[in-house]
Amino acid sequence: MFQRLWQTMRQWRYPPEFRIEAPTMLPEVLAVLQRLEELIRSEFTYQEDDTLLNLVAELATGLWRLRRRLQNAPEDHDDLRRAKRICQAIWDAMEEKGVVVHDHTGENYDPGMSVEVLTFQEDKTLTRAQIVETIKPSVFLQGHLIQWGVVIVSIPNRKEGNNDAVND
């Protein structure tokens, strides 16, 4: 109450043409914003231990592996062609629902990436660290990361004379 009185009195310091009226819809707007906040808090939240999210991530990873194998298989039989079409239809349905599977193979590696590195391998042909194999892809649901990718990274060979240790 004191604050509202102070705001009213403060307006009286100015000429009438410069006075700002107190907002009349403020309580209604605040009520709507509070209701919106309650709805957001009660909606589905992404948690690591959620079994449904784990199931989505496992299904997406399994479909990703199946799809990779089917892409490399020759199309000798009608059954194999049908299996490829079914796999592609499921893949498209997942993407329509907001599930994105990201294969990191071939990307340049940056230590700040949201991936788990299984191992580092030295490769003298590289000038920069590069992801050479994706063991598990990163899986996103509606733009939220629900599974970290697991990768193998190749790094350039270290030069012999460029050691950090001091030689005695």
Tens-digit pLDDT profile for residues 2-61: 666 766 677 777 788 877 776 555 566 666 666 766 665 555 555 544 778 888 899 899
pLDDT value at 109 more than 80 = yes
Q: At what angle are helices 51-72 and 78-96 packed, to 10 degrees?
A: 140
- Which residue reads 């050479």 in tokens? 132
- Among 15-19, 81-85, 113-117, 159-163, the range scoring the smallest mean pLDDT is 159-163
**CB-based contact 40:34 (threshold 8 Å):** no
* Amino acid code (one letter) for 5: L
So what's the pLDDT on residue 37? 65
Please name the residue ranges forming H helices in 12-50. 26-42
Helix (H) or strand (E) holding 133: strand 130-136
Contacts of 65 (CB under 8 A, 6+ apart): none
Contact 111, 68 (CB under 8 A): no
Q: Which pair of structure tokens corresponds to residue 34? A: 């509070």
Question: Which residue, chain included where needed, has tokens 């079409």?
Answer: 85
